[in-house]
Chains A and B, each alone.
Chain A
Amino acid sequence: MNGYTVGENGTNSGMTEQHQFQLFEESLRKVNKLVFQMLINEIIPLSMSVERKLEKSNDEEVSSNMSKLDVNEDSNTTNLLKDIVPSNQLIHDLLDTKDEDKYNKVIDRVRNIGFQVGNKLSELLIFTNNPNLQFKDMDILLIMKFVCRDVWKQLYGKQIDNLKTNHRGTFYLFDYDYPPIREFCIEENALKKELKLVEPFLEFPVGIIKGVLASLGYPPEQVICLATFVDRPNNDIPDTSFAKGISFHIQITTQNNQ
């Protein structure tokens, strides 16, 4: 595909592999970054919307079960249009919901989507024959580095800014400029509400991390992953970007015995 023949293989195999990987990456199909990012962000309103629809259909089923279906059949398109709620409205609704159970269900849905994506993503990234990847002794630190470097780069086009660990299964991953929420902002003097609104958006990367770990031998019940807001280092708060950085706290509860 990339015109690379066996005869061209030089003496320096490391260089060749690197070159080959580069050629492979360039030959991959590209998608628009903005569209991809919006798709990721749309997961939260989507989960909320699904939860609402489920709730509604449950209610309807109690009142009238089969006859309702026939009615829906006729006015399908008009009903669909009527039920559409703008994404920003859904996000605000999610914050305002009093029902804790519902909120948790939505968050779980987001996390599950992230988990599935992460689970498959690691498969794809390892399949690419990236010469920078090594999983010889399956070290958890190596896996974390893989998350910081390759997974993040694939999803968000940047690496995680800082990785801290106590070498006993606790990791802190800091991203001071998490791209999907970079432009998020509401009116002046409502920072607290803003942070609350953004919170569900952090559940997707949490799911990603858990998914990647699960595919590499750390099942989700052994991993605790939490996302919290942290201040940026040296406290530079630019006017044009989201005010807080994100810290992912990852804890591996039991040692993995192979």
Chain B
Amino acid sequence: MTIYSFWIFDRHCNCIYDREWTLLANPKSGTTNSKQNDDVSKLLYGIIFSLRSVTGKLSTDDTGRTNEISSISTGKFRIHTYCTATGLWFVLLTDFKPFNYNKVLQHIYSDIFVKYITNNYLSPYDFSENENEKRGQGTRKITNRHFMNNLESFLEPMISS
């Protein structure tokens, strides 16, 4: 399994964290919160948003639970998503090797995001500060040291193994 990049979107349609690995041999390589990835992040958001609404409509389950997508496969890579009730999307781009990344994304949410962002009183919990940023125009990112270090060390073994 190999992972190519990792993204977090918030409920205001903003990308609040992105991490892309370029050299698979070197886990330190690549970009973090890069401006160049803005357009890619919007496209990625669009794909997931559209497919989510499609799957929501196709759902025949009338228990009231929505039909969530867990992964999307294209010809080149596979997108794994984990959506929380608070509107956060955790997105992981990987290769085709069969592996369930749901647990991985869940761990990132519950043991890294909640711990170092939600539980951290010095960091904002909502990354849009005014009305203008609440419609997908925000550029604020997670810059938290602990969060980044923890995420790196957690994902490092999966980058090329």
**Chain A residues in contact with chain B, CB under 8 A?**
34, 38, 41, 44-45, 86-89, 91-92, 183-188, 194, 197-198, 201, 239-241
Bound form: Cα–Cα A239–B124 in Å: 20
Q: Report the nearest B residue to A191, measured CB to CB.
A: B145
A interface SS class: helix
Task: Using A239-B149, A240-B149, A240-B150 as known contacts, say yes or no to A186 and B122 having CB atoms under 8 A apart.
Answer: yes
| Contact yes or no, B115 A183, CB < 8 A | yes
Using CB atoms, name the residue of chain A closest to B124: A88
Closest chain B residue, CB of each to CB of A88: B124
Chain A residues near B149: list those with CB within 8 A.
Answer: 239-240
Option from A89, A92, A183, A239 in Cβ contact (under 8 Å) with B120: A183
* Residue of A87, A197, A239 touching B146 (CB-CB under 8 A): A239
CB nearest neighbor in B for A239: B149
Query: When A and B form their complex, which 5 residue pairs have the shortest distance between CB atoms, in order from nearest?
Result: A187-B143, A239-B149, A185-B146, A183-B119, A183-B120
Instruction: Tell which of A34, A185, A198 touches B123, judged by Cβ atoms closer than 8 Å.
Output: A185
> A-facing mask of B101-139, CB < 8 A → 1, else 0?
000000000000001100111111110000000000000
A185 to B119, CA, bound (A): 10
Q: Is the CB of A86 within 8 A of B120?
A: no
Interface pairs (13), CB distance under 8 Å: A34-B119, A88-B122, A88-B123, A88-B124, A89-B124, A91-B122, A92-B122, A183-B115, A184-B122, A185-B146, A186-B145, A239-B153, A241-B146
- Alpha-carbon distance A201/B145, docked complex (angstroms): 20
**How far is it, in angstroms, between the C-alpha of A91 and the C-alpha of B145 when the chains are bound?**
18
Minimum Cβ distance to chain A for residue B11 (Å): 15
State A239–B146 Cα separation when bound (angstroms). Answer: 6
* Pair count A-B, CB < 8 A: 57
Judged by a CB distance under 8 angstroms, whether B84 is at the interface is no
Q: Whole-angstrom distance between the alpha carbons of A34 and B124 in the complex? A: 18
Q: When chains A and B are docked, how far (Å) is the Cα of A198 from the Cα of B116? A: 15
Complex partner residue of B144 from A38, A91, A186, CB under 8 angstroms: A186
Other-chain contact of A194, B119, B122, B125 (Cβ < 8 Å): B122
Residue pair B145, A41 in contact (C-beta under 8 Å): no
Q: By the criterion CB–CB under 8 Å, are B144 and A87 in contact?
A: no
Nearest CB in chain B: distance from A203 CB, A: 14
Partner of A197 from the list B116, B122, B126 (CB cut-off 8 Å) is B122
Complex Cα gap A91–B124 (Å) = 11
Q: Which of B116, B121, B147, B150 contacts A88 (CB under 8 A)?
A: B121
Residue of A nearest to B141 (CB): A187
User: What 15 additional pairs, Cβ within 8 angstroms, besides A38-B119, A44-B121, A183-B119?
Assistant: A45-B121, A86-B125, A88-B123, A88-B125, A91-B121, A184-B121, A185-B145, A186-B144, A186-B145, A187-B143, A187-B145, A194-B122, A201-B121, A239-B149, A239-B153
Closest to B112 in A: A240
Q: State whether A185 and B121 are in contact (beta carbons under 8 Å apart), knowing that A86-B126, A240-B150 are contacts in the complex.
A: no
Looking at the complex, which one of A45, A86, A185, A194 makes contact with B116 (CB distance below 8 Å)?
A185
Contacts of A91 in B (CB 8 A): 121-122
